[in-house]
Structure 1
């Protein structure tokens, strides 16, 4: 893509490259080519700091009076990316949404740390493919040697930047952590990837030095909570610890956890014992709860036990409403329950409820969105196949997150009956009520009663 800035924008760039002034205020601006939304939203952790509307030239500006030095992220729906800011910064970003991460360029104060974090993020994507393809089959010592070498190369590059441009202590800490926890995570998941690669029955014994880095883990660093490598490491780390601590009491079958309730109870206890920082605790507990409930959606008795224990250790979790809503949603769509009374809109513009659609019929409800053409192309192809093998079922499509005109155009371009296509405007309610994870799910109903609300359109349904 053309990365040269328009002349008017160069004046901004020049201003951004001037030395820092003795001020606490921050200037953050940018230009977005091919915008996908009207706004850019700036976050600190999970909190919205400010939003800026794009002007007629697709540019935005933030003026912040005072901030805490550290990691932020900005969102231009549906994409987001990190940004490191310090008091006195003047920073500019330019991007093209067609190649969002690949096109990002930072200029101005602290451009070095921001471009370094971005370049590493892109490098890790390619590197991870190589590690997955060729590293996990290695024996533990060889794997460790290669991973440590990759980590040291990245740290040397970071030290070169610090030497040439100077970095604050906080900036260096975050960049170093992004490197360390990326490679630490590879080691956490190595035993499981290795077993799967070689199709072995059990995990290998590892040398006492394999996890030597664990003595340096900071479980309560508030500055790293929303750093993706740190958070991803924590998820893998607690999964690994839980697996080992669970031992035989979890009911393992050839090294695979059979008792998910017991295993996830271990996770809750270990997180509770090691993590004090509330926001990180809340996020990790949420991750355990969401994954468990979605995986064990057909075990209502076990889910009740899990939720009770979850609330003991994290009853004041900032995500508690989301988790309870998911739990209740799963309970409500168990087999033999009535299909929820949700309204959708037909191609004729009439509102109709799901029970009305399913009354007196065998129905498979499936879901799609215009946001992903490959996904909906494949969905419609799969439905066409199923119609031939399941002629006693009616296949009903429910569209989400699509403007009405776009929805109608897509339906009319597909080889499908418009009378079986509906649309919902209330994505949040539909998602919470029908538990739409993943989007490949389908719901099978017979005469308004649920048969299976967690089937997959690509499975051998019924």
Structure 2
């Protein structure tokens, strides 16, 4: 408790400064301490909407006061990690965590702590069950059901104990945990079905008992209270994946690439989402996720990409997501081998001057490699800096250009100085919105390689896949 005493005093101070018209029941306090922080902020979201950005002080503590908030599930980010909390009027919730063991170290105190500690207990229990469940998928379907139902009974017993010890917990939170437990069980069944498809290829005599699929009648594909909860969304996505996969198998699909990266499979996914998922946020997030998944694995066949993109545009309704996927699609087309960067694509140098990227990519007698980083992901920055320095030693004639995703010029310059980058080779983007259009940047681990003329050799390499080195020789 000693770690939280100064923050609890802050709660009291906040309360003393409130106007007389504002009672403790009208607001929610959220604060805590981050050990070994990866950046300077804790960012809070509710139902996919930004709520607040809370800055860490010099002791790595933060505090926020939420007025006119809505009860329910919130997501807090300390990039690149995140976790869920359940906030209700009158709560004054404090957390403490160590980023080296983000979920395992997370602990809450203050009003509202009991329900959030119980949720984290459930979360960690689910995490501990992942490996056993994978092993259970090797069993016949009836034995598998018995195993996962036993795991569910463990969670239900813990839930009953929690409710008995906390009789005043809200019905809304109880229903949330009911669904969190239930949909985890459903997801295990989808995992089994996915593994069954693979096993069936080797042994056509394998079958699944009819009772296995009865749970699907209980599935609500459009639960507005759960649509912003990623484990629920993952379950629905897995349901869609298996439905699409099953349809491909029924039609005796044949192809020269893995089925789950094929155009047919991914178009099926778009169609299933279009027909089954009607809740706007969940629907568009799933369509967006499917598009990212498809384009991540398909960067060369432009004709097929055009076909996928055409269907995506037809079924998607969210303007922002459609613009995002349009930029990604166009970015992939523009970064094909032999192309050069458009003259309209630029970055900023240390003097805040715009520099066309095509001038950076053309170096007489040298190949160029572009890599990406951001100050908000400190661990990634350390890792990629080490890899790039090693690469520079291995290929001394290589022109290496770092591009930061930071838009804040002063912060970017400070980060460059702190990490001792070669300053002449460091630039930053103009607008974050342009990175998909300009660089087709899906993963921050991406590399872009050009020849001495500035022509693209490979715009979709990864720092963690050493195959790209062949193009540097």
Task: Give TM-score, length-normalised by structure 2.
Answer: 0.81
* 1:365-404 alignment runs, 5 A limit: 365-369=369-373, 371-372=379-380, 373-381=382-390, 384-385=393-394, 387=395, 394-401=398-405, 403-404=412-413
Matched, 1:86 2:84: no
- Segments of structure 1 that go 5 or more residues without pairing to the other structure are 413-417
Rounded to whole Å, the distance in 2 between the matches of 1:51 and 1:100 is: 19
- Residue by residue over 1:184-235, the C-alpha shift from the partner in whole angstroms, topping out at 9 and shown as x without a partner, is 2222122444666899487953222223321111111111012121011111
Specify the alignment match of 2:449 in structure 1: 444
- CA positional deviation for 1:347: 8.8
Matched, 1:160 2:172: no
Matched, 1:4 2:2: yes
* 1:69-108 alignment runs, 5 A limit: 69-108=71-110
Specify the alignment match of 1:355 in structure 2: 358
Rounded to whole Å, the distance in 2 between the matches of 1:15 and 1:157 is: 36
- CA positional deviation for 1:46: 1.4
Specify the alignment match of 1:456 in structure 2: 462
Specify the alignment match of 1:144 in structure 2: 145
Does the CA-based 8 Å contact 1:344-1:354 persist in structure 2?
yes
- CA positional deviation for 1:436: 2.5
Rounded to whole Å, the distance in 2 between the matches of 1:270 and 1:404 is: 47
- CA positional deviation for 1:426: 4.1
Closer, same or farther: CA 62–259 of 1 in aligned 2, 3 Å: closer
Helix, strand or coil: the match of 2:467?
coil
Of residues 44, 48, 51, the one that matches 1:49 is: 51
Closer, same or farther: CA 97–365 of 1 in aligned 2, 3 Å: same
Rounded to whole Å, the distance in 2 between the matches of 1:219 and 1:274 is: 7
- Residue by residue over 1:22-67, the C-alpha shift from the partner in whole angstroms, topping out at 9 and shown as x without a partner, is 9762322322244555544332111123344456663312132352
Specify the alignment match of 2:293 in structure 1: 291
Output the aligned Cα RMSD: 3.6
Helix, strand or coil: the match of 1:324?
helix
Matched, 1:181 2:183: yes
Helix, strand or coil: the match of 1:214?
helix
Specify the alignment match of 2:438 in structure 1: 433
- CA positional deviation for 1:353: 3.6
Rounded to whole Å, the distance in 2 between the matches of 1:362 and 1:192 is: 47
Does the CA-based 8 Å contact 1:250-1:257 persist in structure 2?
no
Does the CA-based 8 Å contact 2:97-2:105 persist in structure 1?
yes
- CA positional deviation for 1:103: 3.0
Specify the alignment match of 1:119 in structure 2: 121
Does the CA-based 8 Å contact 2:372-2:446 persist in structure 1?
no
Rounded to whole Å, the distance in 2 between the matches of 1:250 and 1:376 is: 47
Rounded to whole Å, the distance in 1 between the matches of 2:210 and 2:295 is: 35
- CA positional deviation for 1:340: 3.8
Of residues 42, 47, 64, the one that matches 1:61 is: 64
- Segments of structure 2 that go 5 or more residues without pairing to the other structure are 15-21, 407-411
Closer, same or farther: CA 255–117 of 1 in aligned 2, 3 Å: farther
- CA positional deviation for 1:6: 4.9
Closer, same or farther: CA 348–126 of 1 in aligned 2, 3 Å: farther
Closer, same or farther: CA 347–89 of 1 in aligned 2, 3 Å: closer
Helix, strand or coil: the match of 1:252?
coil
- Residue by residue over 1:270-311, the C-alpha shift from the partner in whole angstroms, topping out at 9 and shown as x without a partner, is 111111111111111111111112221212122222222112
Helix, strand or coil: the match of 2:2?
coil
Task: Give TM-score, length-normalised by structure 1.
Answer: 0.83
- Residue by residue over 1:373-401, the C-alpha shift from the partner in whole angstroms, topping out at 9 and shown as x without a partner, is 3344345445655x3xxx8x735242425
Rounded to whole Å, the distance in 2 between the matches of 1:177 and 1:51 is: 29
Closer, same or farther: CA 332–233 of 1 in aligned 2, 3 Å: same
Rounded to whole Å, the distance in 2 between the matches of 1:5 and 1:394 is: 50
Specify the alignment match of 1:30 in structure 2: 31
Q: Aligned pair count?
A: 444
Rounded to whole Å, the distance in 1 between the matches of 2:389 and 2:236 is: 39
Greater shift in the superposed pair: 187-196 or 438-447: 187-196
Matched, 1:407 2:409: no
Does the CA-based 8 Å contact 2:260-2:266 persist in structure 1?
no
- CA positional deviation for 1:315: 3.5
Rounded to whole Å, the distance in 2 between the matches of 1:105 and 1:176 is: 22
- CA positional deviation for 1:348: 10
Rounded to whole Å, the distance in 1 between the matches of 2:370 and 2:203 is: 37
Greater shift in the superposed pair: 191-200 or 276-285: 191-200
- CA positional deviation for 1:154: 0.8
Helix, strand or coil: the match of 1:339?
coil
Helix, strand or coil: the match of 2:400?
strand
Rounded to whole Å, the distance in 1 between the matches of 2:241 and 2:55 is: 41
